[in-house]
């Protein structure tokens, strides 16, 4: 059973912009899959469609075989959005427990899972500190931990390292890799070929709402010369 299946996915926004056109994609269970494309390619639209944040114009989304808008499918997906959007009045622990409650966990379950996430993401020293007092790296780690609270089978990371410096990028990569090693399927969007190459076993190139190619990083480098690849990614380092 694939983790994610998109069939004929099309999104036309109210102003007529077609952000995704007849998009087909199948991501196997356990994959570390990258979506690589320039600004405006349709990456965030695709994620929003999978996470039921927008209404799709046509097509179908299935998550582990279930319709994407079903309760089961929703409970299987975790999203770490591109922008940091933490509640400034909640501590690290409260942020996690609150999110667990949102996904129907009992208080006790949520507290236990939050303690585990705090350990995994090395946030013990900051557990009772409110979000605005965290460093940039700690905020990103908390955002990741929050996305994992309800034990999603498919984790979507929307440009998890956009705008972060080299050191922090390496640090975040370590956490993300660990997550995948534990069996979680990952869909990551990025502008950076190096990031996709470093982490993903397969990459889809997307531009203008269409799938240009799907291959391993090596395969893409063989198929495209550096100039054509440079049109769809941004050099990161």
Instruction: Compute how many residues bind ligand ATP; rule: CB under 6 A.
Output: 12
Which of 44, 91, 138, 185 is in the footprint of ligand ATP by CB under 6 A?
44
| Comparison of 40 and 136: residue with beta carbon closer to ligand ATP | 40
Helix (H) or strand (E) holding 77: strand 77-80
**Given 8, 28, 40, 219, the residue binding ligand ATP (CB under 6 A):** 40
In terms of CB distance, is 41 or 77 closer to ligand ATP? 41
Indicate whether 37 belongs to the interface with ligand ATP (CB under 6 A): yes
41 binds ligand ATP (CB under 6 A): yes
Is residue 180 a contact residue for ligand ATP (CB under 6 A)? no
Q: Please state, in angstroms and as integers, the Cα–Cα distance from residue 190 to each residue in 18, 70, 119, 130, 142, following that order.
A: 21, 27, 27, 29, 20
Task: For residue 165, give every residue at least 6 positions away whose Cβ sits within 8 Å of its Cβ, in sequence order, or none.
Answer: none
- Select 16 or 183, whichever has its Cβ closest to ligand ATP: 16
The H or E element that residue 120 is part of is: helix 107-120
Residue tagged 């609150």 (tokens): 98
Question: Considering only residues 1-30, where is the footprint of ligand ATP by CB under 6 A?
Answer: 13, 15, 17, 19
Which segment (37-45, 57-65, 106-114, 172-180) binds ligand ATP by CB under 6 A? Answer: 37-45
Cα separation, 202 vs 198, in Å, equals: 11
The answer to the question of residue 78 lying near ligand ATP (CB under 6 A) is no
Phi and psi, residue 212, nearest 5°: -85, -40
Q: Does 160 bind ligand ATP (CB under 6 A)?
A: no
Measured from the Cβ of residue 173, the count of other Cβ atoms closer than 10 Å reads 15
Q: Does 84 bind ligand ATP (CB under 6 A)?
A: no
Question: Cα(77)–Cα(159) distance, rounded to whole angstroms?
Answer: 17
DSSP character at residue 78: E
**Which residue stretches of 18-79 are H helix?**
43-50, 71-76
Q: Is 45 in the site for ligand ATP (CB under 6 A)?
A: yes
Q: Quote the least distance from Cβ 186 to ligand ATP, whole Å.
A: 17
Residues interacting with ligand ATP, by CB under 6 A? 13, 15, 17, 19, 37, 39-45
């Amino acid at each position: 059973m694939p983790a994610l299946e998109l069939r004929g996915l099309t999104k036309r926004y109210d102003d007529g912009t077609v952000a995704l056109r007849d998009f087909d994609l199948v991501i196997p269970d356990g994959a570390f899959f990258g979506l690589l494309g320039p600004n405006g390619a349709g990456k965030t639209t695709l994620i929003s469609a999978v996470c039921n944040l927008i209404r799709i114009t046509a097509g179908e989304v299935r998550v582990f075989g279930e319709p994407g808008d079903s309760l089961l499918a929703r409970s299987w997906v975790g999203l770490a959005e591109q922008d940091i959007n933490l509640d400034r009045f909640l501590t690290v622990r409260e942020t996690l427990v609150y999110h667990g409650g949102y996904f129907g966990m009992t208080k006790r379950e949520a507290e236990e899972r939050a303690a585990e996430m705090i350990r995994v993401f090395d946030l013990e020293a900051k557990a009772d500190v409110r979000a605005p007092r965290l460093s940039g790296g700690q905020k990103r780690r908390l955002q990741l931990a929050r996305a994992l609270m309800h034990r999603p089978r498919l984790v979507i990371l929307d440009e998890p390292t956009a705008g972060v410096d080299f050191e922090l990028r390496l640090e975040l990569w370590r956490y993300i890799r660990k997550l995948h090693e534990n069996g979680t399927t990952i869909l990551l969007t990025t502008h950076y070929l190096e990031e996709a190459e470093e982490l993903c076993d397969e990459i889809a190139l997307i531009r203008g709402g269409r799938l240009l190619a799907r291959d391993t990083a090596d395969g893409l480098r063989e198929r495209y010369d550096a100039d054509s690849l440079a049109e769809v990614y941004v050099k990161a380092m």
